[in-house]
Amino acid sequence: MKEAPHPSSFLPAGVADIFRSRAAEAEARRDLHPEVLALIYDQQWFRMLLPGDPLLPAAGSRPDPALVTPHPLSLPELVRLEEGISWADGSVGWMVTLCSGAGWFAGFFPRDAFPDIFSQKQLCLAGSGAPSGEAHVIPGGYRVEGRWDYASGALHATAFTANCTIFNKGQRVLTEEGAPMIRPFLFKNEEVVVDRNWNTIGLIATGSHSFEVRNAKIPADRCFVIDEEHAKADHPIYRYPFLQLAETTLAANLSGMAIHFLDCCAGHFQQRIQARRFPVPAAEEMNAALADAQKRLHAKRVEFYERLDSSWQACRNGNIEKEILLAVSLSSRQMVAAARQIVDRLYPYGGLGAARPDAEINRVWRDLHTASQHNLLVFSR
């Protein structure tokens, strides 16, 4: 069997220790710890999918060298890094994944669009894919009303993206296929009202609050189209289909959290066994279940990364066929399903110690089960 390296190998040295030492305080704050946020800005992880050309500064000024990124990350690099971050801490990984994913949309704007937004050193885009807004055509743009839930990173967002159904003269605008036309929009921070209503058992520090746009006049150039033909940046990442981009990055988050859980189990189980609370057969059962879980998840990760890497190579070659993309989607969902099953099988062996909210193993369990509720990760196809 081929190898899939442990997610820790995808991270800079020392990062996991920083994240985990601040995780409990982050949950208490219901927000990322300032030191963690500073590290994310320093690594430019929210900017990982921005176009690789130097970001245009405001008129008459020079670009900040710290904001000049040679290229966006390739998809294989991105997914591995996000798996590593999620292994270190689920909330951090989830927020980095969702916010950097929103930054991907910048590849579909004209190169000189919105330097006041994309040139910000502490850029952070939050958003939602739900089409729960309405955009009514007006001269020069749109009048937008809407409310969107679950915008990870909303507390630190410098801009938001969200989907709206398009209306013209009170009627829904239809596509050529006869379906309602839905388009994503970019909103500036001052056009958005955040409702601090994120209240779940896990991913607490992501601050995935709801947000609203109320009767805002939005210029036409902040409505965009996501497909290969409308990409403005010349890089394969903007030719890779959005569905599989989302599936693979989210699946890697679940994989990272699941491996963190297995790592916690290894130490937690040994502590229980060494306390001599179990007869030999029970201890052997616990260890065998853990070994089987590690083997199963490793096999799914190997398959996942093989299909991911193959699809990326096909995309770079300009020949990414439907069958390749279906294989990526299937392996993403199968890996997530395996992660859920594995974690749920092992959790009872942790005893009441694993049920304590202040225990690391419990936080990982809560984060994984909250993340796995995402619609892209639930259904088989």
240-378 to CATH, choices 3.40.50.300, 2.40.240.20, 3.40.190.10, 1.20.140.10: 1.20.140.10
Alpha carbon distance, N-terminus to C-terminus of the chain: 27
Confidence of residue 64 (pLDDT cuts 50, 70, 90): low
Mean pLDDT of 201-207: 98
> What's the one-letter identity of residue 106?
A
> What's the one-letter identity of residue 78?
L
User: What are the start-end ranges of the E strands in the chain?
Assistant: 125-138, 141-151, 159-168, 171-172, 182-188, 193-195, 209-219
The answer on pLDDT for 59 being more than 50 is no
Residue 222 CB burial class (10 angstroms; 0-12, 13-18, ≥19):
buried
Rounded to whole angstroms, the Cα distance separating 163 from 150 reads 13
> What is the DSSP track for 282-297?
HHHHHHHHHHHHHHHH
- Three-class DSSP category at 68: coil
283 CA to centre of own chain: 37
Confidence of residue 60 (pLDDT cuts 50, 70, 90): very low
Rounded to whole angstroms, the Cα distance separating 287 from 270 reads 9
Q: Which of 19-28, 115-124, 137-146, 176-185 has the lowest mean pLDDT?
A: 115-124
Task: Look at residues 252, 271, 326 and name the one whose alpha carbon lies nearest to residue 76.
Answer: 252
Q: What CATH class is the domain 129-191+208-230?
A: mainly beta
171-172 and 125-138 as β-strands: parallel, antiparallel, unpaired? unpaired
258 Cβ contact partners less than 8 Å away, ≥ 6 residues apart: 297, 339, 342, 343, 368
> What's the one-letter identity of residue 46?
F
> What is the DSSP track for 5-44?
--GGGGS-TTHHHHHHHHHHHHHHHTS--HHHHHHHHHHT
Confidence of residue 52 (pLDDT cuts 50, 70, 90): confident
Using CA atoms, how far residue 113 sits from 57, 169, 197, 205, 225, in Å, is: 10, 28, 32, 32, 14
Mean pLDDT of 192-212: 98
pLDDT > 70 fraction of the chain, expressed in percent and rounded:
94
The answer on pLDDT for 67 being more than 60 is no
Q: What CATH class is the domain 7-118?
A: mainly alpha
DSSP state for residue 237 in the 8-state scheme: G
pTM of this structure: 0.93
Question: Left (φ > 0), alpha (ψ -120 to 50) or beta: where does 217 sit?
Answer: beta
Q: What is the pLDDT of residues 249-264, one digit of tens each?
A: 999 999 999 999 999 9
Mean pLDDT of 282-299: 96
Task: Look at residues 279, 140, 283 and name the one whose alpha carbon lies nearest to residue 219.
Answer: 140
57 CA to centre of own chain: 28
Q: Can you give the residue ranges of every domain in the chain?
A: 7-118, 129-191+208-230, 240-378
